[in-house]
Chain A
Amino acid sequence: MGNPSAPSQPPPSTPAAFVIANGRRLECPLPCSLAELLVAQHLPPRSVVVEHNGQAVAPSEFARHQVQSGDRLEIVKIVAGG
């Protein structure tokens, strides 16, 4: 017997879309392109290289690669080193 004045239950929440970026869960609006994801993370696309589900992706391909929920990304920079 429901109480008409009881507050209604919130709708079941949709699980947040996420990728695994550099070993950590990163929530982000998906789907989107790699380029869009990098910009959203304040990473100039030209400054990084990305491995997307085990495949190295050149910066020229970032706009063409679509990221889906659960994808694994390694976002890597060229840095100083011997």
Chain B
Amino acid sequence: MSPTNQPLIIAGRSFRSRLILGTGKFSSPEAMRAAAEASGAEIVTVALRRADLSGRKDPFANILEFISPEKYLVLPNTSGAMNADEAVRLARLAAAAGLPKWVKLEIHPDPRYLLPDPVDTLKAAEVLVKEGFTVLPYLNADPVLARRLQDVGTATVMPLGSPIGSNRGLQSRDQLRIILEQATVPVVVDAGLGAPSHASEAMELGADAVLVNTAIAVANDPNRMAAAFRLAVEAGRAAFEAGLAPHQDTAAPTSPLTAFLD
């Protein structure tokens, strides 16, 4: 596929790939590294967790040995934070670790649906933007909240397609369309993209990028799935830039409707 799609620009930084990869749920750090390579992603998310102080060996001991900050923009998420205060603390810890001062702001206190808390997300976004972070907030596909987050200066908005790990695609598409119409920052559809066709659909609607984790990590062949998502994102974006034909209620013939044999 010819790489003529326009670059993605977030906070003044240019990216060729519009597929952001999450690193969770892979069978091994090596599998994760290989899938990242196959995906063509340039931005890769990581998380922060309390270190195990019991002395047991931690298999994911040093993820930065597998995802090099030289090669990727390593984007810490604040997943695990139950409220704005914890999210802000995690972001500051990630910055202290030497990661770029970017943060995927993710606050989902309810473990059953992992839906992002809108109130604390907005509170934390405001604090972190003021502290000079490039903030990429994860939110439900709420167009009003998306505008509020833009207004406090987030670098993107990241509305969900469907709940994390549910693989149900763009259940939020009606709301996403409104966000896409009104956004003044890049829109990254994040969560619930279970198949490459879901990613393509998001890009065809006009999303600037997508974030995928589960669908690639749990595939039988994560490298092939990563490559499939890469193609899907490129195809969807190319279609969007090329100009999709409009929906209509009635048919519009493609062959002449004159009498065939007069």
Residues of B with C-beta under 8 A to A75:
50-51, 53
Q: How many A-B residue pairs have CB under 8 A?
A: 104
Provide the bound-state CA to CA distance between A60 and B98, in Å.
10
* With contact pairs A47-B62, A56-B96 given, residues A82 and B79 touching in the complex (Cβ less than 8 Å): yes
Main secondary structure of the interface of A (DSSP, over half): strand
> How big is the A interface, by class?
20 to 34
Q: B34 within 8 Å of A by Cβ?
A: no
Q: A10 within 8 Å of B by Cβ?
A: no
Tell me if B23 and A76 are in contact (CB < 8 A). no
Give the number of chain B interface residues (Cβ < 8 Å).
40
Q: A48 within 8 Å of B by Cβ?
A: yes
* With contact pairs A47-B62, A51-B89, A56-B89 given, residues A79 and B49 touching in the complex (Cβ less than 8 Å): yes
Q: A22 within 8 Å of B by Cβ?
A: yes
Residues of A with C-beta under 8 A to B64:
78
Q: B239 within 8 Å of A by Cβ?
A: no
Contact with A along B215-255 (1 / 0, CB 8 A): 00000000000000000000000000000000000000000
Seen from chain A, the residues whose Cβ lies within 8 Å of a Cβ on chain B are: 21-24, 26, 41-43, 47-49, 51, 54, 56-59, 74-82
